Structure 1
Amino acid sequence: MNTKPAGTVIAVIAVVMLLLFAGIWTWILVLSLIDAAAGNPASIGNEFVVAAGALSTLLASLTSASIGSAIADVKGQKSDGKGGSPASSVMTVEKVAAELSWRSKAAIVVYILVGLGVLGVWLVMDTLSPEVVTAFALSLVGWLIGAAGIVFESPPTSSPLTKAEAAPTAEATKAKPRKSARRFSI
């Protein structure tokens, strides 16, 4: 009989996944640096390449989906009419971060820290860098560009309403049933 709550099991799985991700990438970087010090290209076993690639793809996908879900939640709060003043309905990084679970935040931090380490090793090793390191470094750059789009998103500008926009139709003012939002989080 399982006496642990589901949240604890999910938290354990998340922590194990993050530790496995960090551990495998640390091992790959150590092997790469040792071989590079000897002037040889790194020899990384296929099992590490597959595991590192799978975990990197998993974390990139989960963190992106989690951030996207949080943005949708914030935008949903903005558009449901309960936001209060217009100033409180502006989407900010702080509001998006507040929607993320601690597991999502931890995954984002671990992904970025490990990724920056991989990126640094890739830049230092140049041609001696194994293909798996090059692939993850470039993938991280793409992920960071997407994240920068969120962080540096310009606030909406206020434009004067046209006469049609200022006077909603009777159809638009009827209350519409709200679909339940499905939240994605790691």
Structure 2
Amino acid sequence: MLYLADAPSSLALAWHQSGEFCLRTAAAVARHPLAVLVAAAVPAAERGYVLMQSRTLPRLRLTLLEALVTLWRVLLCVVAIWAALSGSEWLRLRQRVGVAESWQLALQHLGKHIGNHLRVVLWEYVLFIAGFALLNFAITALVRALGAAGKSRLQTPEHRRAAISVLRNLILVPLAVIYLVETLRPMFQ
């Protein structure tokens, strides 16, 4: 019988599972680095371009670019799901896409999992937010340090803002999406 004193706290369990999610996210990126990079490159390049040219772009062109990036981010989500799931999980997901009842059962299963483990899930997302905020801070500090270091184009605020946005879209967005897929893995099992 497991006594209350022997049970791990919600934070300790969330810390352990977050570490596993990080390892699985790194493994997914390591298995498919080119697919993740290509899926993240278009939004990153578009964000950098828009930030550098935002004053000279007509509104219609800006709106069309944003629509294109939104569609491309859907592709990024599909690539992240594909990279995070194993072959059998991907096949099961492909079989469920056309069957509404399967999605309903998967969402019920996910809701039951979250309901049964609400404290742990909340701690996992607190750790997720803290980790990615720290990674964002590191990216921002790196770009600012490179701008302050010398004769680079990163000395102007527009270039720094564009470089930070590009790096966020290349690094943070794919990692965050894959990480969230890893946390939602019970829905795919």
TM-score using structure 2 length: 0.32
TM-score using structure 1 length: 0.33
Look at both structures and tell me which one has the larger radius of gyration over its CA atoms. 1
